[in-house]
Chain A
Amino acid sequence: MTVDTSKLNVALTDYALPFLGACAWLIFGYWISSLLARLTYAGLFRKLGADKARAFSKVIRFLVIVPFVLTLIHGAGVDITALLGAAGLAGVAIGFASQTGLSNLISGLFLVLERPFKIGDLIEVDGSRGIVHSIEMLSTYIRAYDNQVIRFPNEMLAKSKVINLTRYPIRRINLDIRVASKEDPDHVMTVLREVIIANPECFNEPEPMIALKELRGTSLDFFIGVWADSQEFWSTRTSLLRDIKVRFDQEGIALPYGRVAMVQHADAAHKER
């Protein structure tokens, strides 16, 4: 049996070698883009943080890999101009079709650049509260206290009111404290001040604020603003409330009770007879 080596040579030179060359070119392009993306991430990580550095490195990877792919297509004899035109048209069509996705993508970019929060921050959006777990291209995931993961489309985050509860290392605990209206307001304020000073988790500076807020029929309403470590917010709030209750009990300061006063007028009583 004879083998027609000329056909094999043709197949090799016309198809296999160009195919292998194209693969090598793509691998090289991928390697270069990965290298530049990694360098970009490493260079920007300290200055801009993980979120922005990751976003920029993705852009760099995209910008580097695209010319490699276009060169490859051009090398295969495909008219790039026509292809780009077709891609533009297709892009418009896809854009219309995927308006929400695109909006999320752009919103995600704005979130990364504007940086209203970062991974690890405690945020509150639309009544949901949790720690930012990841910021993806289309959506952001937060982990709620009960370990549920909530996904927010980036577009929604861009449009909504987002409260970042741990942006600053310190946070003020705001408490409304009501006592019975018969109590002496000066005494109550002195006791509250002493309780705050005695609690080591309550900051001396910025100074705590204690104010008599309202005089009601059944109660005196006080406002307390105490600064604490953001990371210790709930434990400090709980210990402060507990300390106030214990001290109020020691001092005999009464909390207001919901009361209904029934007054019987003498003439009304007479008429009913």
Chain B
Amino acid sequence: MDSRTDITRAVIVWVVLAIVADLLIGFLLAPHMPPGHFSNTASDQTEINNILALILTPIGLGVVTFFVYALVSFRQPAGAIEDGPPLRGDRRLQLGWVGVTTTVVIVLAIVGTIELLQAPNSQAGSGAGGGQGASAISHPSGNPLQVQVIAQQWQFTYRYPQYGGVETFSLALPVGRTVEFHVTSIDAIHSFWAYQLGVKADAVPGADNVAFTTPEHMGLFEVRCAELCGLWHGYMYSRGHVLSSAGFSKWIAHAQIANAPATHYLPKYAHVYYPLPLQRGG
């Protein structure tokens, strides 16, 4: 049996496995792929997760197939120790491998970059859902709802600058309207992770980190801190609500009235707040 037959057989096994695996992923796994479709950013993350699964599974299966084929077929006969053929390489095969892997990488990078450059509420994409920094490279059209997320040890609070800078302990958003989160911290580094919403942005003291999303369904979503922030990091979680437009108007109006005395004493709304530094000395 010459080498060509072995390669042909392995390729056939690989192609069959890859097709079966991709069909299984496409029909069974993809509809349930996290993080779901609660917002446009979550949908995009789900879509990318699915695309990557469909591309990477055949690649992984290819490597595994060739390894397993070699391990099963080319064993040392019992007893004697024989040498294999002194093959040192194959220029065409090596160049082909370099070409194929480089192409896959470039395609993946292009897909990801296009996704990043989309306006955050366009049909084509959502701008990833976090970490846009103080100067986002793409902006949503229209007039997004601004919500400032202020992280501190160990809870998040939320300010709505378009509603008199009121600060609340719970997060509520209207469905279907683009939200512009401004995430900052007043002590350690935290990370604002609204899981179902497909939003994650580090809360860094002295920095204004922007994330866009558009909630597409009403309901509850989880908020957790995703960056180690000290003693009670594991307990830094809460829930947010996506309400109807009317429900949100009612909620924010109530919050403005209820929190009016506190709002009066809050510092003026700003993108970053500087607490007094911790004094150390020796």
Co-complex (A, B): no
